[in-house]
Amino acid sequence: MSFIDHFETLEDTRSHINKKHELLDFIFLTVVAILSGAEGWKDIKQFGDNKIDWLRKFRRFENGIPVDDTIARIISTLEPTALLTCFVSWVNEIRISQGQSVINFDGKTLRHSFDGDRKTAIHSVSAYAVEQGLVLAQCKSLGKKNEVSTVMELIELLEIKGNIITADAMHCLKKVATAIDKKGGDYVLQVKNNQSKLSDEIKAYFHKVRRDNKELIATHTHSTTNDGHGRIEQRTYVQLPVSSWLEQRKGWANLRSVIEVTRVRYLNRNQSSEAAYYISSLDVNLPQIAKTIRSHWAIENSSHWVLDMTFKEDESRIRRGDAPENMATFRRFAMNLARLSSIKDSVKGKLKQAAWSDDIRQQLIFG
């Protein structure tokens, strides 16, 4: 099934009078143009004019390519939640055959989407499946301080059964853990000062076990060492099962283990160290927990960075109506299509090839 088929349920709110172009033509043109390197309305229009014969192999485009202002107007009037539902429907169909994953939740600001006041720039929360390299969803948030309610919406929307959810300390909340558990997922959540009593008790628990049961610490420790760019980083993971000694465990859904991660960095003969603490619904499994915690920032390196450096999302000045949010969804469509392809190249390289070659572009869309 082509990705465009998932948009057939999207409501077209335009009047039938003087409606010259099909809604699905707009969507197909926009996604394919972005996949070929287009960044704005003029780019999409020029791509369509140059590739009209190729586009007509898949869609009718009876009245040719609409002008750039018409493209902007139609995309800006699409209902973002309905568009997101189509996106999730497509991603969920793909994920059925791709197994379970660690799913990262993290926020991102479209820094140039503001109109006048920089505080109006759009902030969104994305869910990213690490093993598949796919963005599963992205949803607008009312600023970074309101991310929690957006994460709750995404948990409800996504199929997370059997997957491990990771999120930063802002989302270390009982209601988030409960929502994940109800959907059949597991969680690894960092604990900081927003849960001060829990944080203090976990630290005291590790101190107690080190004092009273050194053998348990020894058998529940896992260390890794990485080097690069003149830096060496050692990570030591200690994962302990939750015991009745932890009073603050009460109210946390399916809480099974607590984790201490100590990071020691060596750079230019200077040494620094820090410790971080996590709670999890996972049983003690040190290689699994080390991989899960280490992979949390994959969303920054493999999603946010690619969107900014390859798709120029941070530089986009699209501001009309709901267009910034909708174009963010279309960029994630394009990035996922590029990632799913078996063509051996970076995402940036695949976009270049798609711009140059009709065959490559077709492989990215349908392959």
Q: What is the CATH number of the domain that holds 179?
A: 3.90.350.10
Same domain, 173 and 296: yes
Q: Number of helices and strands (H, E) in the chain?
A: 15, 9
Question: Do 193 and 101 share a domain, yes or no?
Answer: yes
Q: In sequence order, what DSSP letters do the residues of 182-225 get, joined into one string?
A: HTT-EEEEEE-GGGHHHHHHHHHHHHHHHHH-HHHHHHTEEEEE
Cα–Cα nearest to 234, from 206, 207, 263, 194:
263
pLDDT category of residue 200 using cuts at 50, 70 and 90: very high
Average pLDDT score over residue span 338-361:
96
pLDDT at 120 over 70: no
Judge if 147 and 250 occupy the same domain: yes
Cβ partners under 8 Å of residue 224, min gap 6: 234, 235, 237, 290, 294
Note whether 182 and 165 are within 8 A (CB): no
Is the same domain home to 126 and 266?
A: yes
Amino acid in the structure at residue 40: G
Same domain, 209 and 107: yes
Residue 68 has pLDDT above 70, yes or no: yes
Average pLDDT over every residue of 318-323: 88
Identify the pLDDT of residue 141: 81
Rounded average pLDDT over 279-300: 94
In a domain, 66, yes or no: yes
Residue 241 lies in a domain: yes
| Mean per-residue pLDDT of the chain | 92
Neighbouring C-alpha atoms within 13 Å toward the C-beta of 166:
21
Secondary structure (DSSP) of 160-185 = -TT-EEEE-GGG--HHHHHHHHHTT-
Q: Do 100 and 234 sit in the same domain of this protein?
A: yes
Q: Residue 312: inside a domain, yes or no?
A: no
Give the pLDDT score at 218: 96
Residue with tokens 């465990």: 249
Residues 193 and 74 in one domain: no
pLDDT band at 243 (very low <50, low <70, confident <90, very high): very high
* Per-residue pLDDT tens digits for 10-67: 999 888 777 899 999 999 999 999 999 999 999 999 999 999 999 999 999 999 999 9
- The C-alpha atoms of residue 213 and residue 224 are separated, in whole angstroms, by 23
Q: Is 255 helix (H, G, I), strand (E, B) or coil?
A: coil
The answer on 287 and 205 residing in a single domain is yes
In this prediction, residue 92 has a pLDDT band, given cuts at 50, 70 and 90, of confident
Whether residue 14 is contained in a domain is answered as yes
**Would you say residue 352 has pLDDT above 70?**
yes
> What is the distance between the alpha carbons of residues 8 and 30, in angstroms, rounded to a whole number?
16
Say yes or no: 14 and 162 in one domain.
no
Q: Mean pLDDT across the stretch 256-283?
A: 94
Residue 110 or 349, more confident: 349
Count of structural domains within the chain: 2
Give the pLDDT band of residue 116 (cuts 50, 70, 90): low
SS (H, E, C) 284-313: CCHHHHHHHHHHHHHHHHHHHHHHHHCCCH
For position 220, what pLDDT does the model report?
A: 97
Comparing C-alpha atoms, which of 301, 322, 320 is closest to residue 310? 301
Question: What pLDDT does 113 receive?
Answer: 56
The pTM of this model reads: 0.90
Q: Examine residue 310 and state whether it is found in any structural domain, yes or no.
A: no
70 in a structural domain: yes
**Given 276, 304, 332, which residue is the final one in a domain?**
304
Strands 231-241 and 164-167: unpaired
Shared domain for 228 and 289, answered yes or no, is yes
| Claim to verify: residue 254 and residue 175 sit in the same structural domain | yes
Q: Are 201 and 248 in contact (CB under 8 A)?
A: yes
In a domain, 232, yes or no: yes
Q: Are residues 236 and 272 in the same domain?
A: yes
Whats the size of the chain, residue-wise? 367
> What does the alpha-carbon distance between residue 244 and residue 281 come to, in Å, rounded to a whole number?
15
Residue 23 region, left (φ>0) first, then alpha (ψ -120 to 50), else beta? Answer: alpha
Residue 170 has pLDDT above 80, yes or no: yes
CB atoms within 10 A of CB 85: 16
Q: Is 145's pLDDT higher than 90? A: no
**Residue 34 in 3-state DSSP?**
helix
Residue 245 pLDDT: 97
The H or E element spanning position 102 is: strand 102-109
Instruction: Specify the pairing of strand 257-267 against strand 231-241.
Output: antiparallel
Q: Say whether pLDDT at 114 is over 60.
A: no
The one-letter amino acid at 164: I
Structural domain boundaries enclosing 67: 3-78+320-366
